[in-house]
Amino acid sequence: MNNESVKKPKTGVARLLEISMEQKPLLILGVVLSVISTLLQFAPFIAVYFIVAELLKNASTPELIDYVFIKQWGIYALLFLIGAILTLYVGNMCSHIAAFRILYNMRVSLSRHLAKLPLGYFNRQSTGAIKKNLELSVEKIENFIAHHIPDLVGAIIMPLIMFVAMFVLDWRLALVSMIPIILAYCFQLHVFYSKSAKIKVKRWLDSQERMNAEAVEYVRGMPAVKVFGLTVRNFLRFNNSIADYREVTLEITKTYKHPYTAFFVLLTSLLSFIVPVAIFLLSGQPGNQALALVIMVFLVMAPGISVPVLKLMYLGGNLRYVTDGAERIDMIYAQEPITEPVAPRIPENYSVRFDNVCFSYDDKDAATRTEALKDVSFVAGEGEITALVGPSGSGKSTIANLIPRFWDVGRGSISIGGVDVRQMGTENLMNTVSFVFQDVHLFYDTIEENIRMGNSAAGRNEVIAAAKAACCHEFIERLPQGYQTRIGEGGTYLSGGEAQRVSIARAILKNAPILVLDEATAFADPENEVKIQQGLISLIQNKTVIVIAHRLTTIREADKIVVIDKGRIVETGRHDDLLLHEGLYKHMWEAHIDAGAWELVSEDARKGAQIQ
C-alpha cells in the first residue's frame, strides 16, 4: 500500500479517462454519435421557430399562411426524431461494448496480476476484499464509460447549443436566462464546497461507518450475545449508532434544505426571469415582429435548459463514487508481483537448505504482533524426514511457507539442491515441491479432476491408484457418481478428513521429490485419522520431507528435529539426543505426554485435581 510509484500515477477522473482510452475508437464513435443525437433532439425547436415565424408574419392576414410549409416542418421534426433515436441507440451500444470490453480486459489482467503476487497476499480476510474489487469496483467503471461519458458530453453540449442559439437570437434574453442558472450554481457551490459542509459530510461518513461496524458486531456476535445474555447492552449500542446516524443525516438534510430548495426553484423558474425583460423589450418596440417571434421561441425553449443542467449535477455526485472504485483497483495493481528469474535453474539434488534466513511480515494491520524469523539455518537432507517443532507462533509454519515462496525471505537464502528458490522459477519450484496443508481447497469440479490436479497428464488408472494409496478410493466409490461426482457448490461436500485425504492423493499423484506437510489431524474423526495416517505413509516414501509437527509422538523417528522458539532455532537433533538436554524440546515432550493422559473426570478424581 505504501507504493508511491515514481511515475506518479494518475488519479481521479484523469485515471478513469486513461482506463477508458483503451477502447479509443469505439468510445469516440459512441461520444460523437451521442453528440449528434443531442443535436438532432434540438430539431423540434427549430421546427417550432419556423412555424411560429410563418404564423406570426401572416397573423393579420391568415389567408397568406403557407400551410404546406408548416406541415413540412412538422414532418421534418419527426424525421429528425427518428434520426436522434437511431444515433442514440448506436452510440449507446458503442459505449457499452467499449465499456464491457474494458471491464473484461481489466478483470482478466487483474486476475493475471493476482496470480503473480506472493501467496502471502491471499489471506482469508483479503480474499473477500479482492473479490469485491474485481466485481464491484470494476463494475463502477462500466458506469463511468458507458453512462457518464456520453451523459456528460450530452449534458455539456446540450445547454451549450441552447445558449449559442439563444445568443444568436437575442443576447439580452440569453443573458437573463443565464442569471438563475449561475445563481443556482452559486448556492450549490456554497453548500457542497464550504468548509463546514465538508466537516459535516465527514461526520456523516464517520457515523455511517460506525453504524456499519456496530451492525457487523451485532450480527456476528449474536450467538455470543445470546449465550451471555448481553442482548440489551449490545442492542443498545447498535441502537445508539442507528439513532446517531439518523441524527447526523437529519442535521445535514436540514442544512441543505434552503440552499437546495433555492437551487431547484431557481433552475425551474427561468420563465420568471425572462418574462419581465421580454415585456420590457417588447414595450419599447411594440411593432417589432421579429422580436416577438424571438420572445415566443425563448419562452418555449428556455425552460428545457434546466434538464441537462440538473443532470450535470447528479453526474458530479456519482463521479466521486466511481473514482473510489478506480483507486481500489489501482491498489491491487500496485502490489509487487513475485520476481521470476530470466533463466530458471534446475537443482542438482533435493536437499533443502536455509542459510541465515530472516523474515518479517510487513503487513501492519494483520496482527498486533509480527511473527518473524531471525537467522534460521538448517539443512533438510535428501530423502530424510525433518520435523519443525515449537510453540504456536514460534515461526515453524512461516518456515514451511517460505520454501514455496509464499513470501520471499528478507535476508539470507533458501536453496534446493544448491539453487536459490528465487532462481528456480515458479513452475520449476512447484514441480519440485508438494504441499499438504490443514485447510484444503477443493475445486468445483469432479473428484477425479480434483485429484488429477496433482498431475494433469495422469490417466484414470493412475488417479485411482493414488486415491487407493491415500485411502480415498472407498469413500469415492460410495459417492453418487463415484469419481465423476462434483464437489462443492451444490454438489457433494466432503468432510474435513475426506478432503484432507483427497489432498494427499493429489500429492501422491504429483510425486514431487520434496514434500512439505502440516501434520494436524485433530479434527478428523477416528476412522479418518487412521486413513490419513495410512495415506501419509505411502506419500512420504523416498522423499525429502519437511513436516510441521504438532503432536510430538508422531515425529519421534524423524531424522532431524528442528526446535524453534520465537523465530530462532534453539535446538536441533534426533529425538533421543534432544531428550538428554534440559531444553525446550524436553519440556514440550513432557507436556505432550501429560496432555495425552488428560481425561475429563468425574467427581472424586476431580476434587483431587483441584487440590493439586
With CB under 8 A as the contact rule, the residue among 463, 506, 508, 585 that binds other proteins is 506
Q: Least distance (Å) from other proteins to the CB of residue 142? A: 8
| Cα(517)–Cα(555) distance, integer angstroms | 12
Q: Which of residues 368-427 bind other proteins (CB under 8 A)?
A: 368-369, 383, 385, 387, 390-393, 404, 406, 426-427
Question: CA nearest 419: which of 352, 515, 514, 516?
Answer: 352
Q: Least distance (Å) from other proteins to the CB of residue 12? A: 25
Q: Least distance (Å) from other proteins to the CB of residue 7? A: 28
| Cα(89)–Cα(83) distance, integer angstroms | 10
| Cα(321)–Cα(497) distance, integer angstroms | 45
113 counts as binding other proteins under rule CB under 8 A: no
Q: Which of residues 60-99 bind other proteins (CB under 8 A)?
A: 60, 62, 65, 67, 70-71, 73-75, 77-78, 80-82, 84-85, 88-89, 92-93, 96-97
570 counts as binding other proteins under rule CB under 8 A: no
What one-character DSSP code corresponds to residue 269?
-
The pattern of x and - marking residues 147 through 186 that bind other proteins according to CB under 8 A reads ----------------------------------------
Name the residue nearer to other proteins (CB basis): 10 or 592.
Answer: 592
Which of 11-19, 194-202, 339-347, 539-547 is the region at the interface with other proteins (rule: CB under 8 A)?
539-547
CA 394 from centroid of its chain's CA atoms: 32
Cell of 245: 446516524
With CB under 8 A as the contact rule, the residue among 25, 478, 557, 582 that binds other proteins is 557
What one-character DSSP code corresponds to residue 411?
E
DSSP 3-state of 457:
coil
CB 166 within 8 A of CB 303: no
State which H helix or E strand residue 564 sits in.
strand 560-565
Name the residue nearer to other proteins (CB basis): 418 or 596.
Answer: 596
CB 340 within 8 A of CB 425: yes
Residue with cell 458486531: 217
Name the residue nearer to other proteins (CB basis): 14 or 537.
Answer: 537
The pattern of x and - marking residues 426 through 445 that bind other proteins according to CB under 8 A reads xx--xx-xxx-x---x-xx-
| Cα(371)–Cα(362) distance, integer angstroms | 10
193 counts as binding other proteins under rule CB under 8 A: no
Identify the sign of the CA torsion 249, 255, 259, 264: positive
| Cα(11)–Cα(21) distance, integer angstroms | 15
520 counts as binding other proteins under rule CB under 8 A: yes
Name the residue nearer to other proteins (CB basis): 13 or 300.
Answer: 300
With CB under 8 A as the contact rule, the residue among 6, 182, 609, 611 that binds other proteins is 609
CB 213 within 8 A of CB 240: no
Q: Least distance (Å) from other proteins to the CB of residue 456? A: 7
Name the residue nearer to other proteins (CB basis): 326 or 494.
Answer: 494
Count residues binding other proteins (CB under 8 A).
185
What one-character DSSP code corresponds to residue 492?
B
| Cα(595)–Cα(553) distance, integer angstroms | 12
DSSP 3-state of 395:
coil
Q: Which of residues 445-484 bind other proteins (CB under 8 A)?
A: 453-454, 456
With CB under 8 A as the contact rule, the residue among 324, 327, 362, 525 that binds other proteins is 525
Name the residue nearer to other proteins (CB basis): 3 or 109.
Answer: 109
DSSP 3-state of 235:
helix
The pattern of x and - marking residues 33 through 62 that bind other proteins according to CB under 8 A reads --------x--x--xx--xx--xx--xx-x
Q: Least distance (Å) from other proteins to the CB of residue 65? A: 8
Give the count of beta carbons closer than 10 Å to the beta carbon of residue 199. 10
The pattern of x and - marking residues 271 through 310 that bind other proteins according to CB under 8 A reads xx--xx-xx--xx--x--x--x--xx--xxx-xx--x---
In the sheet that holds 433-436, the strands lie side by side as: 433-436, 514-518, 544-548, 385-389, 560-565, 568-573
